[in-house]
Amino acid sequence: MKKVFRSMLLLLALSSMTFSGLYAQRAIFVEETYADEDFDLTNSELPSWDIIPGGPGKDGIPALTDPEFTTAKSDKWLSDEDRVIGVTLNGVTKAYPVRILNYHEIINDDFDGMRVAITYSPLCGSVMVYQTEERDQEWELAVSGLVYNNNALYFDRETESLWSQVLGRAVAGPVAGAQLQLLPATLTTWQEWQERHPKTLLLAEETGHNRNYELDAYAHYGTTDRLMFPLNHSDDRLELKERVLGVEVDGIFKAYAYSMLPADKHFVTSDVVNGQNIKIEFLPEAQAAYVTDADGNLLPSASMYWFSWSAFHPETEVHGLPSEDFPTRMSMTIGAL
């Protein structure tokens, strides 16, 4: 009965969307499967009934590991307006086109000896970059095919534990409770990133997979108020798919709506989060935000749709809004909210 219910729930979610590209791909793979057929959920910190199949099964969306790169000068296929995730670590600067991440969601990569996972969930528009090594432990992340709170769950190939993309934490399996370190990253345009980092490396279009990276199957998704899968918490303070910059300082979470940041590239927003002085440089033309401390050092941050940030961090503060008496609603939502 549980098996049939989950399948019906997923089909209802899928039927509420107009699909093309990857939406259709997800729909094709809908099957009556238990979420725990491939993974051990016995010690899951998440309710098992809230973990549901997302379409393609385990490794159905292939993660990339140690892919090839090219240079900005030799790039011929990206337009100036293309969205990229920009990362600078250990003196190495790289750009990862969202066109490619739409089809792979995870890129396991190396920054001069530091193992890193660049992650992007099209369902949430969520950009999260994590260090995937700690002491003698290293994790290679892959796509499980499961979702929780409309957000992708990953697994590591070493222990097959499940990891939440937004939380950066193992939520089930042998290493449940393990936490990844969030790293600085920026969602921006290819033009802006090149101007800031003219010697940047660029993820090569030739990934070894036969995918049409020219097609952005999620372009329409970001303009609607519909979701593909349920949420267990929703917050009315901002629009459902308002893009926000999320910052966390020692357990205190704060969101900065792009629409509330000054539309003047010469103006820097200063704030204090849990005693930490931060500055936010917002570039309206590129729709890009950089977070630094008072000394100009980049700080970890996340960029995603508001519904996702607030679902995982329901006590979050919102810059520019009162911090108390905010309206929220609990729901299991499919389709329009």
All residues at 6 or more sequence positions from 15 whose CB lies less than 8 Å from its CB, including other chains:
none
> What is the fold of 64-203?
Rieske Iron-sulfur Protein (2.102.10)
Q: Do 271 and 319 form a contact (C-beta atoms < 8 A)?
A: yes
Q: Which of 98, 297, 101 is nearest to 184 (CA)?
A: 297
Q: Could you read off the pLDDT tens digit of each residue along the chain, which spans 337 residues?
A: 334 334 444 443 443 333 334 443 443 333 344 455 789 999 999 998 999 999 889 999 999 999 999 998 888 889 999 999 999 999 999 999 999 999 999 999 999 999 999 999 999 999 999 999 988 899 999 999 999 999 999 999 999 999 999 999 999 999 999 999 999 999 999 999 999 999 999 999 999 999 999 988 898 999 999 999 999 999 999 999 999 999 999 999 999 999 999 988 778 999 999 999 999 999 999 999 999 999 999 999 999 999 999 999 999 999 998 765 444 433 333 333 2
Q: Where are the domains of the chain?
A: 2-53, 64-203, 221-336
Phi first, then psi, for residue 104 (nearest 5°) are -130, -30
Query: How much is the pLDDT for 25?
Result: 43
**What are the CB-based long-range contacts (under 8 Å, 24+) for 263-270?**
269/319
Q: Tokens 């980092």 sit at which residue?
A: 197
Q: Tokens 């939380």 sit at which residue?
A: 167
| Identity at 208, one-letter amino acid code | G
Report helix, strand or coil for 267.
coil
Query: How much is the pLDDT for 266?
Result: 78
DSSP 97-146: EHHHHHHH-EEEEEETTEEEEEEEETTTTEEEEEE-EETTEE--EEEEEE
